[in-house]
Amino acid sequence: MVVPTGRGTHPGSWLEQECARMREELCVTDLDAAPAASLERLHALWGVPDEESAELLLLSFAACASLTATQRALACGTLDTAERLRYARRCLLEGTKRMVAQAAIRDALEGVL
């Protein structure tokens, strides 16, 4: 699967890999049948008009895969795909900032202890 371009993803990124994993699972219709070539069978269920919209919706859920359980629950309650992507981005940035701060504290304590 190719993640829609212009969305800040890079080939081989964790987001692209997560999209591919989810897409593969969603395209399986029967263990004895070949996987579907598209997400078309989900368009009506997801309320999207076309494959591009379905791929973007999938991307928004894949972006939430590494969030905390509470954050994922809040993201699932967001009906707007773009808003879900913005929320996931905010959460991921906050998590990154928190990890950087923790690493700085750990480094500072190593010099003292």
Which amino acid is residue 44, in one-letter code? Answer: A
Strand (E) positions, 15-84?
none
Q: Do residues 75 and 87 make contact, with C-beta atoms less than 8 angstroms apart?
A: yes
Note the residue count of the chain: 113
Q: Do residues 40 and 72 make contact, with C-beta atoms less than 8 angstroms apart?
A: no
Average pLDDT for 3-26: 76
pLDDT tens digits, one per residue of 52-67:
999 999 999 999 998 9
Where in the chain are the domains?
14-112
| 12 pLDDT above the threshold of 70 | no
Burial (CB < 10 A; 0-12, 13-18, 19+), residue 53, is middle
Q: What is the pLDDT of residue 93?
A: 93
